[in-house]
Amino acid sequence: MPKKLLLFLLFSFCTVVYGQIGGKSTYQFLNLVTSPRQAALGGKSITIYDNDVNQAHFNPATINPEMDNQLALNYGSYFGEVTYGTASYAYTYDRHLQTFQVGVNYVNYGKFDGYDENGTATSQFTGNEVALSFGYSYNVPYTDLHIGASGKLISSTLENYNSIGGAVDIGAVYIDEPNDVNWALVVRNIGTQFTTYSGTNEKLPLEILAGVSQELENVPLRWHLTLENLQQWNISFSNPNQAENSLDGSSSDKKVSFLGNAMRHVIIGAELFPKKSFNIRLGYNFRRAEELLILEQRNFSGISIGFGLKINKLKFNYSYSRYTLAANTSLFGLTVNLQ
């Protein structure tokens, strides 16, 4: 019954909600990956259910007592001077109230040179955004279904423009222990701006995700499959490098097939030795690979790799994600067991 309920909710959301992706909404930093483990698995993994307190950022239903007193700190250098980081902490008050989680996401866009309308240099300016979150999950009695919610207070400063907003994430995860299969469904960034940048209210980057993962019986490996941006079917972007030229010198965008658009919703990943002190991770993001493809060059866009190493009460995580030949990103994370 819980799995049927998850499927019903998934198709219901897909039919009634229309969403936006890149460039059509504000607070886009909310969709950045929040930990090296998540990044190494291709991004947006929502089915991990263990003591990884970072998971609460993308699926609050995964908050559980194993995360009690776990503190995670993550830092990464994005493109140029852009840096961002996250932190997450969970605490179990008692077994009846389950576990609470608090977190923060922060991004700094670096310094920019300012100019007036005549091209005269003025002064430097910067931009940064931060989101504070509080999450809670609940195990439905007598079932293996877990549901959770996370509230976020968002602040954004871009030059001398400021905005404050709020959002809620709602998630569910079903743990099929006999088969080592996890099913998950998440609706992220349901919210609004409380104050706008310049009087125009903008939409938040609403997103619906579904996922499944399984640990193999005879191999120490867990595979992950995530379907992203399910609130909008057509998310294809015509890569100008793949434009079709005609005899008269004009060009037209290459049409994206039904299968090509469908695969852009898919993220796959695998984690070797998921329950050991040393883990190896590999992921592939199909949409990133297609949108950043360069013809006649192998740039391996969409691939991500990483590892985790646990030493006593410390765990170090690292990921490397490939975007283009000139732009890649690394994430570093440290998780501390404070018990």
Q: 3-state DSSP call for residue 77?
A: strand
pLDDT at 89: 97
Query: Which residue type occupies 325?
Result: L
Give residues with Cβ within 8 angstroms of 162, minimum separation 6.
155, 156, 195, 197
Q: What is the pLDDT of residues 44-91, one digit of tens each?
A: 999 999 999 999 999 999 999 999 999 999 999 877 778 999 999 999
Sign of CA dihedral 42, 44, 46, 52: positive
Domain spans, the chain: 2-238+253-337
Residue matched to tokens 């809620």? 168
**CATH fold label, 2-238+253-337:** Porin (2.40.160)
**Residue 97 confidence (pLDDT) above 70:** no
**Residue 255 confidence (pLDDT) above 70:** yes
**Residue 42 confidence (pLDDT) above 90:** yes
**Residue 14 confidence (pLDDT) above 60:** no
Q: Which two tokens stand for residue 34?
A: 């929040």
**Residue 7 confidence (pLDDT) above 50:** no
Of 17-21, 160-164, 261-265, the range with the lowest mean pLDDT is 17-21
pLDDT at 15: 35
Higher pLDDT, residue 99 or 61 = 61
Query: Which residue type occupies 159?
Result: E
Sign of CA dihedral 189, 210, 184, 13: positive
